[in-house]
Amino acid sequence: MAMPTHFLIERTIININKTIEESARKDTKIIYINRKVPPESVKILGHIESCAEEYYKKTKDIFLTATYYLKNIIVLQALEDANHRTGIVAAKLFLGLNGYKTKEFSPFTRPKNLTQNDVIESECFIHFKTRLYSYREREYHFTDSIINDYVLRFENTEENTSENIVFDYCYKFIINKLLDPT
């Protein structure tokens, strides 16, 4: 029996970001700073819903599609803050909705007694963000001119196999850090 595929809609991405913002109001260790975002980025984020579905039709690959959400949410920077965190939660939600088990992470409920795993895990996320920052600079040069539909172009399809270092790094992060093979 063919398995149904569930996609994320724009509202879901906004809800993830709002929930992170609300968490920051209740938890002083979580920071969320409201910043101005380019209107063009917000507009393009609205296309992610239909583009991701079309991308899946071309690739038939849930992991690539999860990468599509993660990479584009981060590159567009259409949310006032927490774009990386929103992208990671979105990818995790998308994988879970489509039947894939993802790793459980630390809730940090006992910050005074952090385990070595807690520290390694935090470093892994910080490393991801730092590394990705330099890759984004290399691939997109951080100019406003890149904030156009080009960002949402399809990578790793039959028509386009050109390498995008940001996309590739996000894909490896999903495979190695988010998915749970057990």
- Residue number, 36 or 181, with CB nearest to other proteins: 181
31 near other proteins, judged by CB under 8 A: yes
Both tokens of residue 69?
Answer: 């959400």
Site residues for other proteins, 125-164, by CB under 8 A, read 125-126, 129
**C-alpha span between 104 and 2 (Å, rounded):** 28
**3-state SS, residue 67:** helix
Q: Which is nearer to other proteins, 37 or 122 (CB)?
A: 122
110 near other proteins, judged by CB under 8 A: no
Instruction: Please tell me whether residue 104 binds other proteins under the rule CB under 8 A.
Output: yes
Minimum CB–partner distance for residue 55 and other proteins (Å): 17
Quote the least distance from Cβ 54 to other proteins, whole Å: 18
93 part of the interface to other proteins, by CB under 8 A: yes
Phi/psi of residue 158, nearest 5 degrees: -60, -35
Residues in contact with 99: Cβ distance below 8 Å, sequence separation at least 6, in sequence order: 3
Does residue 38 belong to the site contacting other proteins (CB under 8 A)? no
22 vs 149, beta carbon nearer other proteins = 22
Count, residues near other proteins per rule CB under 8 A? 48
Alpha helices per DSSP H over the chain: 10-26, 39-45, 48-59, 62-76, 83-97, 116-140, 165-173
Burial 143-164 (b: 16+ CB within 10 A, else e): eeeebeeebbebbbeeeeeeeb
- Judged by CB under 8 A, the residue of 38, 46, 108, 150 near other proteins is 108
Provide CB contacts within 8 A for 137, sequence distance 6+.
Answer: none
Beta-carbon contacts of residue 168 (< 8 Å; ≥ 6 apart): none
Residues near other proteins, by CB under 8 A: 3-6, 11-12, 15-16, 19-20, 23-24, 27, 29-32, 62-63, 82, 84-85, 88-89, 92-93, 96-101, 104-109, 118, 121-123, 125-126, 129, 179-181
